[in-house]
Amino acid sequence: MEKLIVHGGQPLKGRVTISGSKNSALPILAATLLTKDTCTIRRVPDLSDTNYMVRILGELGAEVERASGVVVVTANKIKSKAPYDLVRKMRASICVLGPLTGRLRKASVSLPGGCIIGDRPVDLHLRGLEALGASVQVEGGDILVSATRANFKGRTLNLMGKHGSTVLGTDNIMMAATLAKGTTIIEGAAAEPEVEDLANFLIKMGAKIEGAGTNRITIEGVKELHGAEHTVIPDRIEAGTFLVAGAMIGDGVTLKQVIPEHLRAVTTALADCGFKMEITKDSITIYPNPNARGFSLTTHPYPGFPTDMQAQFCALACVIPDSSTITETIFPQRFMHIAEMKRMGAQMTLQGATAHIRGGTPLKSAPVMASDLRASATLVLAGLIAEGQTEIHRLYHIDRGYEHLDDKFAALGAKMERTKE
């Protein structure tokens, strides 16, 4: 196991190129199972999560080659059972369920277990597959889906849950429906850019999909899909994390190869605090502001303020000499970073699903423990502004979702190094 040592207080300046989106790449890789032909996916970030997905595709029988951001998959003959040992390591492996059901009318995938950010059920995924006519059972910890050619049919269904729609649930049903008979209409669909990116890839494969990127997606089933090439969109959450770093301790940080539209909720929140940004069609530069104002934010599904940026904004609130609040509505228990940041002297309290932060008190380094992915990135942000050396343990959480995070920060002038525990 590795840990990261962050030497605080070094201002960040310069340019950073944003990687391909983890949350786009994972379902897009899974979608290659929908065809026997070869698919080429570019700008796949080098992460442990994408490595797991590549291994799952291999275990399912696909031939996979991977070289510097390009993954080539040929899923000529595939099996319907995803191996428990790999699936249990990554919740997002649930997104092979839709493609396996669409192509084979049969799937067996382990039910994902609990997760540090909350309960994370998959009932909406299963309800969606049942609405399409599949029979779904859970046996021995596995989700077993089966359907026949005749009864797997397009329907109108609704994927809205009590915390909003479901991103991977929408992905799963959209993928399965591409090969169902007739027309599927997904009401209450997730409108995240990653869902739209997946739809764009499926359309290149021959799928007939309209409305992706809105809350109503229409899919007209086709007999088969063919191979296609696709480049994954930039990672808006990685970009948002660097923007927050630039606001906290930057002296002019430029993000390159981003889609600013996907970051609008984040850039609006930063602008409301008083941070100046220059935005072009594919770059954003952020400047510091010692007189920034506190904020009051609530997470919502896209285009609202993303839950995946909630933790990073808690770190930002620490440098703004004002009071801020942030309320989590998607994963109300996603506050593991609070206790760790308090160890560094952060003035934070949690009331229900709302964090209250009193900024302006300097943070001091302490050994801290990474928990979920975004909480871990937040500890790096806290380390960047803290006095002394912050040791972040369980670094593997960061490697799940940030491509070469330490190298990218080092290129901006941060001082940090990885060492063995």
Nearer to ligand EPU, 36 or 300 (CB): 300
Closest separation in Å from C-beta 47 to ligand EPU: 10
For residue 416, list its beta bridge partners. Answer: 6
Distances (CA, A) of 80 to 27, 98, 144, 176, 347: 17, 11, 10, 14, 50
- List 95, 115, 273, 314, catalytic entry: 115
- Segment (H or E) for 304: none
* Known catalytic membership, residue 115: yes
Residue with tokens 């595709």: 57
Closest separation in Å from C-beta 233 to ligand EPU: 12
The 8-class DSSP code of residue 207 comes to -
Nearer to ligand EPU, 162 or 420 (CB): 162
Which residue type sits at 110?
Answer: S
108 binds ligand EPU (CB under 6 A): no
Nearer to ligand EPU, 8 or 401 (CB): 401
Measured in degrees and rounded to the nearest 5, phi and psi for residue 196 equal -65, -40
122 binds ligand EPU (CB under 6 A): yes
Taking CB under 6 A as the criterion, the residue among 123, 187, 210, 417 binding ligand EPU is: 123
Neighbours of 244 (CB within 10 A): 27
Binding mask 166-205 for ligand EPU (x = CB under 6 A): xxxx--------------------x---x-----------
User: 353 to 392, contacts with ligand EPU by CB under 6 A?
Assistant: 373-374
308 binds ligand EPU (CB under 6 A): yes
Nearer to ligand EPU, 157 or 330 (CB): 330
Number of residues that bind ligand EPU (CB under 6 A): 25
Closest separation in Å from C-beta 163 to ligand EPU: 3
Q: What sections of 144-186 are H helices per DSSP?
A: 167-178
Taking CB under 6 A as the criterion, the residue among 12, 31, 33, 92 binding ligand EPU is: 92
Taking CB under 6 A as the criterion, the residue among 11, 58, 161, 213 binding ligand EPU is: 161
Residue 237 and residue 239: Cα distance in Å, rounded? 5
Half-sphere exposure of residue 170: CA atoms within 13 angstroms, side-chain side: 35
Residue 362 and residue 20: Cα distance in Å, rounded? 34
Residue 392 and residue 61: Cα distance in Å, rounded? 38
Secondary structure of residue 284 in the 3-state scheme: strand
Q: Which residues are known to be catalytic?
A: 115
**Chain positions contacting ligand EPU, by CB under 6 A:** 23, 26, 92, 120-125, 161, 163-164, 166-169, 190, 194, 307-308, 330-331, 373-374, 401
